[in-house]
């Protein structure tokens, strides 16, 4: 990667188009100046054009020289990319596991588009997949995927969400958990996130948290309190004549106290310490930035943190992860790809091959946020546990892989534990779920 980084730095220096743009603008100014002169003195048109000939030629030469530097930097960068990423054959369908799971891939892409608020693109994707599956169903009635109904809803009046469009729901206001419910749910999420991140408006998020207060409480979530705390901070630091985005049209410390009296009693049991700190800050209102409570009010990442918390809770209530599975898979694949490419080159040079179909030949380091479950390695065979070779716990408490258990128990009524003197029957071993 050093060669690519070096070429990138060279391209940033040599491939700067600011010189060429400045020279083009100078040429345009010269042409406009000559045009104005011709308009003022038409009888001297020939003279003005003669004077323009040499500056125009010089400008074109300068622009061409500027572009040579740009092309040189691009050529070096392109050469570095070709050296690093040499052409290789794409994996065939026989080795591509996902080629047999087109429905799973399409669903992951559609879900990712919904998470990103690209509702129009998601709707088009689902429509085209649905049409292709209807054609396939005519030949194979059992081949239709069951995930389409989660997205497709021709009756739902859902428009693309962006900064200037309004969110519309069904005319009858009915919310169904059947056809197209995921699309409606993610439209609602994007509507609230747009208010939080771009407009710094807490109204829609607070209304949603109040509506789902019981579910959030049962989950042990802090979202509802965090939104109320942020509302208190917003009122506290606003001017006295500020107009809020909900039913409370007041601002300033006194108005924040009024808001706390109406809302904080709900959280007094679980968040008594936090509410006491917020109310104690009222005594320092003339010099809040120098008070012991300044960290509660001057946090630059507050809005992003509460947006992430809302996304996490919203997706959790839908039974989904807070991050897109497609994003996680692509990121993990990008981290693992250089390692696997190196392994493939080494094996090709040594004429070796992978011995296990469902296992990787080397360890692939991933960041902690991408480690979703513990990994069991059999202490006897030193092989990683799989669905076909799960961990098994013996009556004595030691855990070994199923294949190791079968190997030690072969031809015996009772087997001895590999790590202690205890003996047991193989049927007494129990599978361990990690």
**pLDDT tens string 112-139:** 887 777 777 888 888 888 888 777 766 5
Half-sphere exposure of 135 (CA within 13 A, CB side): 5
pLDDT at 250 exceeding the cut of 60:
no
Q: How confident is the model at residue 410 (pLDDT cuts 50, 70, 90)?
A: confident
Q: How many helices (H) and strands (E) does the chain have?
A: 15, 5
Average pLDDT, the chain: 76
From the list 203, 217, 207, the residue with the least C-alpha distance to 269 is 217
E strand or H helix that includes residue 27: helix 18-40
**Regarding predicted confidence, which is higher, 184 or 399?**
399
Q: Domain limits at 414?
A: 373-431
424 within a domain of the structure (yes/no): yes
- Sorting pLDDT into bands at 50, 70 and 90, what band is 149? low
Q: Average pLDDT, stretch 208-222?
A: 87
Residue 69, in any domain of the structure: yes
Residue at 159 is within a domain: no
Which is more confidently placed, 363 or 217? Answer: 217
CATH classification at residue 416: 3.30.40.10
Instruction: Assess if residue 427 is contained within a domain.
Output: yes
Q: Which of 66, 65, 72, 68 is nearest to 10 (CA)?
A: 72
pLDDT tens column, 367-387:
877 776 667 888 888 787 888
Q: Is residue 381 domain-resident?
A: yes
> Residue 263 pLDDT more than 70?
yes
Instruction: Give mean pLDDT, residues 83-99.
Output: 62
pLDDT over 50 at 88, yes or no: yes
Looking at per-residue confidence, does 317 or 161 come out higher?
317
**The predicted structure's pLDDT at residue 356:** 56
pLDDT given for residue 354 in this prediction: 61
Residue 123 located in a structural domain: no
How large is the average pLDDT for residues 395-418?
A: 87
Phi-psi region at 244: left, alpha or beta (left = phi > 0; alpha = psi -120 to 50): beta
pLDDT of residue 111: 83
Q: Read off the pTM.
A: 0.52
Region of poorest pLDDT, from 22-26, 48-52, 164-168: 164-168
pLDDT given for residue 154 in this prediction: 39
Last residue of a domain, one of 81, 111, 133: 81
Q: What is the pLDDT of residue 147?
A: 66
Specify if 257 maps to a domain: no
Mean pLDDT of 206-210: 90
Q: What's the structural domain count of the chain?
A: 2
Among 16-30, 165-179, 224-238, 242-256, whose mean pLDDT is lowest?
165-179
Last residue of a domain, one of 39, 59, 81: 81
Q: Are 209 and 227 in contact (CB under 8 A)?
A: yes
Beta bridge partners of 392: 400, 431
CA 137 – CA 131 distance, rounded (Å):
10
Residue 51 forms part of a structural domain? yes
Average pLDDT over residues 213-230: 86
pLDDT for 146: 60
Residue 179 contacts residue 149 (beta carbons within 8 Å) = yes
Residue that terminates a domain, selected from 34, 61, 81? 81
pLDDT band at 19 (very low <50, low <70, confident <90, very high): confident
């Amino acid at each position: 990667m050093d060669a690519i980084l070096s070429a990138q730095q060279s391209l940033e220096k040599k491939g700067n188009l600011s010189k060429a743009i400045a020279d083009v603008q100078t040429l345009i100014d010269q042409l406009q100046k000559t045009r104005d002169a011709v308009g003022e003195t038409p009888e001297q048109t020939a003279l003005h054009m003669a004077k323009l000939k040499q500056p125009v030629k010089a400008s074109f030469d300068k622009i061409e020289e500027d572009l040579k530097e740009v092309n040189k930097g691009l050529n070096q960068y392109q050469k570095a990319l070709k050296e690093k990423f040499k052409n290789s054959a794409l994996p065939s369908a026989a080795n591509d596991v996902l080629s047999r799971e087109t429905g799973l891939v399409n669903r992951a892409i559609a879900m990712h588009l919904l998470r990103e608020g690209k509702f129009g693109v998601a709707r088009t994707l689902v429509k085209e997949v649905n049409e292709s599956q209807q054609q396939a169903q005519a030949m194979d009635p059992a081949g239709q995927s069951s995930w389409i109904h989660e997205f497709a809803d021709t009756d739902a009046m859902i428009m693309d969400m962006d900064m200037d469009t309004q969110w519309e729901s069904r005319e009858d206001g009915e919310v169904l958990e059947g056809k197209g419910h995921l699309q409606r749910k993610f439209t609602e999420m994007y509507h609230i996130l747009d208010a939080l991140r771009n407009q710094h408006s807490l109204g829609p998020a607070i209304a949603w948290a109040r509506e789902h207060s019981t579910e959030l409480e049962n989950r042990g979530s802090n979202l509802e309190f965090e939104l109320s705390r942020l509302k208190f901070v917003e009122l506290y630091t606003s001017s006295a004549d500020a107009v809020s985005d909900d039913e409370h049209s007041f601002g300033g410390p006194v108005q924040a106290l009024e808001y706390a009296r109406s809302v904080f009693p709900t959280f007094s049991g679980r968040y008594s310490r936090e509410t006491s700190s917020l109310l104690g800050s009222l005594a320092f209102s003339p010099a809040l930035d120098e008070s012991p409570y300044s960290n509660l009010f001057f946090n630059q990442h507050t809005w992003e943190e509460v947006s992430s918390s809302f996304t996490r809770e919203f997706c959790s209530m839908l039974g989904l992860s807070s991050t897109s599975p497609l994003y996680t898979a692509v990121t993990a694949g990008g981290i693992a790809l250089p390692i696997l490419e190196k392994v493939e080159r080494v094996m090709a040079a040594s004429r070796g091959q992978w011995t296990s179909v469902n296992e990787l030949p080397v360890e692939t380091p991933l960041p902690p946020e991408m480690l979703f479950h513990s990994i069991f390695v059999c202490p006897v065979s030193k092989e990683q546990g799989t669905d076909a070779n799960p961990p098994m716990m013996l009556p004595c408490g030691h855990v070994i892989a199923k294949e190791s258990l079968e190997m030690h128990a072969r031809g015996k009524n009772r087997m001895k534990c590999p790590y202690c003197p205890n003996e047991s029957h193989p049927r007494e071993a129990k599978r361990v779920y990690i």
